[in-house]
A and B are shown apart, each in its own frame.
Chain A
Amino acid sequence: MLSRVAESIYWMSRYVERAENVARFIDVNLNMMLDASGMDQQWWPLVNTTGDHVDFEKRYGAATQESVIHFLTFDRENPNSMISCLRAARENARSVREIISSEMWLQLNKFYLTVNDAAATGGGMESLHDFYTDAKLSSHLFTGITDATMTHGEAWHFSRLARKLERADKTSRILDVKYFILLRSVADVGTPTDDTQWAAVLRSASAFEMYRKRQGRISPKGIVQFLLLDQKFPRAIHFCLNAARDSLHAISGTPMGSFRNNGEKLLGQLCSELAYASVDEIVNTGLHEYLDALQDRMNLVGDGIFETFFAQRIPEPGKQMARQRTQ
């Protein structure tokens, strides 16, 4: 398929997933604030999660519920707000409408229009919870429609690759910021508030119930184990990277266990490391440092994909071209 098209599908998929994760961050924080009456409102970690804290401080100053929600949901100047993500996803989809199924376009367009309408009315604070729940469902619907209506060929694999990479990145950010903030309030350890907050981390990733089944008691290490290293939970980083790797190899045709380009090499290395990592080692050497390095390496995987598939150079005129006649 065309490189430009592959790139558009890749970003369409990443941006939808990003918008969904923003909805997750906010929704779970709203719930947590309800449970923790009397406690300091914790909105700052949310801005931190997205990595756009510099822009936020410059334009908003204090992190209140209202300012953070606006910044992350409806602010068109913030490139990672829900509305910006959906606009970008929609623009990408618009440029590949002939490749994706019309059902996918319809759903993405509806999703965008819903958030756009909410932006126009300011969202309405009392219905915020419904709004974010709907947003998560809209994204799931889009993913479901993609899986059910699009040929599972190259384009589909690009969309899956992108979604899994984005999800792995976002789960790592949820884990990083929450872990960092929560562990600092040592006084809270073991209190009901503490448990509520850990539960919130899991709920951010829709992982609460599945965690219960697998790990039982809530513990920081158990949560790291589950969200970082689990190979069966669909929002766990290891699970996502394995799926991304499978799609990458399906696209290139490179046999598993080997590599032909930089993206495959880096991603393969990451997956193997996660398979043989232990949560004790990670926590002892510092979770934050570990996750930070992980995010950097996932970005390098993204760079590798860009180099290999989207930004090919035109070969010198001559024999090379002629061999690649239409298959």
Chain B
Amino acid sequence: MKFRDYETAGFFDEMIGEGGRPRSAVRHLARNLEALPDGELIARQKSADRALVQMGITFNVYGESAGVEKTLPFDLVPRIISGSEWIRIDRGLRQRIQALNLFIDDLYHDQKIVKDGIVPSHVIASSKGFRQQCVGMNPPRGIWCHITGTDLVRHSDGQIYVLEDNLRCPSGVSYVLENRHLMKSLFPEVFAASRVRPVSNYPLRLRDVLEFLSPDASTSPRVVLLTPGVFNSAYFEHSFLAQQMGVELVEGSDLVVSDGYVWMRTTQGFERVDVIYRRIDDDFLDPEAFRPDSMLGVPGLMDVYKAGNVALANAPGSGVADDKVVYAYVPRIVKYYLGEDAVLPNVPTYICDEKKDLDYVLEHLPELVVKAANESGGYGMLIGPHSTKEQHAEFAKRIKADPRNYIAQPTLSLSRVPTVVGDHLEGRHVDLRPYILYGKDIFVMPGGLTRVALKKGSLVVNSSQGGGSKDTWVLADNDLAETDSTDASMGSGQTQIQSQSQSQTQGAAP
């Protein structure tokens, strides 16, 4: 395996810099990959694929018959981020989540930001994520959005942009943890040499955040994770996180509301629940408060929540801030609440609801990416340069019919990372979703989910649309930072004083 033959093809490559030479942060890895004997790369890739199937790390695909499981393809070349670059990303993410929380809280109370003319009132009023039921509500500890996954991309200018905020039920963090686990077994020698910051403490951090929200501080809180069930596309993750946190994984039918509290049905009777990490959208949470036809939720849950007898993470109503039109205003939102410029810039965004932008979008559809305001997972999206005339016309019609529901952005030239294709490496486009926890303080996981568009030339990284994932290595910059290699070798230096195990005495009965 030699990088000599590797083509960056004019894209920004995360691994290979100017002149076809590996960037400084990735030298260890590059040297190691080059030293692999012929066939070893493909052998290790196959071993990774096999491990995924055997471990049953799968997601369900909608639109196919129920219970169809696929593994998220894993590529074994990691995406590496230098320590110094990460410092800036970390700062930007903290700033953003702080501002967004202030924004959500304001929206459900005085709406000062609307009164001050920063965000137009009709954008809020027409947002599907805005919940009338939440007006005036005060979530436990004043935090609305506890768990966030923010999608970042790097454009050909080398700059990192925020592409999307996921404030409802961001998924994918289980793959980060499992990918890391796989990489350690596949490339132990590289891990020993590189200084990769660990991600494995995420579940404990998450549990801390959830316990912090408990309305009843006097006892050890009962935390549960609420899943829509085994046929949900992210079920593996729900079960994985519950297991890693050591909390109960519950379905709606396991919970009942009675006496102003939430209870779960156990073999020994009913037990009270204090905190619910819900992986169910607002719409389905409580048929009495939201969609009456929901079979997934818990009738009466919102009343208990409003009375302060149970905590929900994320708070209902948080989704208003991940509306894709609201996204366009985030730099202004950061400025308004924190008085600072956003550390991480947005991708320039055209708001179809504004006449001038709408005209531009309709004229330039073939160059733009158009997104529906409330869709996720790569659905309801048009990638202009990769679409046909008919698709352009179809989207023009949809946009004109409901301009509020659409935004458009220039087609970004996403950066690439070398990816195993057959027996060699080719560049494939990637994005990055780091995870942020907001409890007593803010925690940004060093790394995140690097999603990769495995199809040649494709820009769509979503797992439901042929995307895969990679491990993400954030390198430790100084000697103080904890790294995964020190993590792995812990204890080896300790003196072990132990009595010997007993053995069978040969031929001598006592």
Contacts and interface: CB of A to CB of B under 8 A. Distances in A.
A317 B54 CA distance: 46
Contact of B230 (A94, A109, A317): A94
A102 B270 CA distance: 28
Interface in B46-64: 53-56
A251 B263 contact: no
Given A251-B267, A324-B270, A105 B56 contact: yes
Interface in A1-51: 1-6
B263 A321 contact: yes
A92 to B, nearest CB: 9
B256 interface: yes
A161 to B, nearest CB: 12
B267 A321 contact: no
Interface string A281-321: 00000000000000000000000000001101011011001
A98 B277 CA distance: 15
B463 interface: no
Contact of B222 (A110, A158, A251, A326): A326
Contact of B259 (A95, A110, A309, A321): A321
A134 interface: no
Contact of B56 (A109, A312, A326): A109
A324 B271 contact: yes
Contacts of B248: 1-2, 5
A221 B254 CA distance: 49
A106 B55 contact: yes
Interface in B218-244: 219, 222, 229-230, 235-236, 239-240, 242-243
B266 interface: yes
Nearest to A319: B259
Given A2-B248, A3-B266, A322 B259 contact: yes
B267 A326 contact: no
Nearest to B56: A109
B267 A98 contact: no
A102 B249 CA distance: 15
B105 interface: no
B267 A113 contact: no
A312 B265 CA distance: 8
A110 B253 contact: no
Contact of A98 (B55, B56, B243, B272): B243
A87 to B, nearest CB: 9
B55 A109 contact: yes
Contacts of A102: 55, 243
Contacts of B55: 102, 105-106, 109
Name A's interface SS: helix
Contact of A97 (B53, B243, B258, B269): B243
Contact of A1 (B53, B219, B267): B267
Contacts, number: 90
A2 B264 contact: yes
A95 B236 CA distance: 9
A326 B219 contact: yes
Contact of A317 (B219, B242, B258): B258
A2 B77 CA distance: 41
B276 interface: no
A187 B254 CA distance: 60
B250 A318 contact: no
Given A3-B254, A321-B259, A113 B249 contact: no
A94 B272 contact: no
Nearest to B51: A106
B12 interface: no
B266 A321 contact: no
B267 A154 contact: yes
B90 interface: no
B267 A309 contact: yes
B230 A91 contact: yes
A59 interface: no
Interface in B246-297: 248-251, 253-254, 256, 258-259, 261, 263-267, 269-272
Range class of the A interface residue count: 35 or more
A98 B242 contact: yes
Interface in A66-108: 91, 94-99, 102, 105-106
A317 B251 contact: no
B256 A318 contact: no
A314 B243 contact: no
B388 to A, nearest CB: 38
B235 to A, nearest CB: 8
A326 B271 contact: yes
A325 interface: yes
A318 B251 contact: no
Contact of B261 (A110, A318, A321): A321
**B219, B243, B267, B271: most-surrounded residue (chain A CB, <10 A):** B267
Interface string B51-84: 0011110000000000100000000000000000
Contacts of A95: 229-230, 239
A326 B220 CA distance: 9
A322 B56 CA distance: 40
A102 B177 CA distance: 15
Nearest to B273: A326
A110 B54 contact: yes
Contacts of A105: 55-56
Contact of B54 (A109, A322, A327): A109
Contacts of B243: 97-99, 102
Given A2-B265, A98-B243, A113 B53 contact: yes
Nearest to B274: A326
Nearest to A154: B267
Nearest to A325: B272
A30 B474 CA distance: 58
Contacts of A154: 267
A94 B239 contact: yes
A281 B218 CA distance: 63
A98 B271 CA distance: 19
Contact of B254 (A2, A97, A322): A2
A2 B266 contact: yes
Interface string A135-162: 0000000000000000000100010000
Given A94-B56, A98-B249, A106-B54, A3 B240 contact: no
A256 B253 CA distance: 33
Contacts of A3: 254, 265-267
A5 B263 CA distance: 15
B237 to A, nearest CB: 11
A277 to B, nearest CB: 32
Contacts of B263: 321
B131 to A, nearest CB: 26
Contacts of A315: 258, 270
Nearest to B249: A98
7 contacts: A2-B264, A95-B239, A97-B239, A317-B258, A321-B259, A324-B272, A326-B222
* Among all A-B residue pairs, the 7 with the closest Cβ atoms: A98-B243, A98-B242, A97-B239, A309-B267, A317-B258, A109-B56, A324-B269
Interface of A: 1-6, 91, 94-99, 102, 105-106, 109-110, 113, 154, 158, 251, 309-310, 312, 314-315, 317-318, 321-322, 324-327
Given A94-B235, A324-B271, 14 more contacts: A2-B264, A2-B267, A4-B251, A97-B240, A106-B56, A109-B55, A154-B267, A251-B267, A312-B269, A321-B258, A322-B259, A324-B269, A324-B270, A327-B271
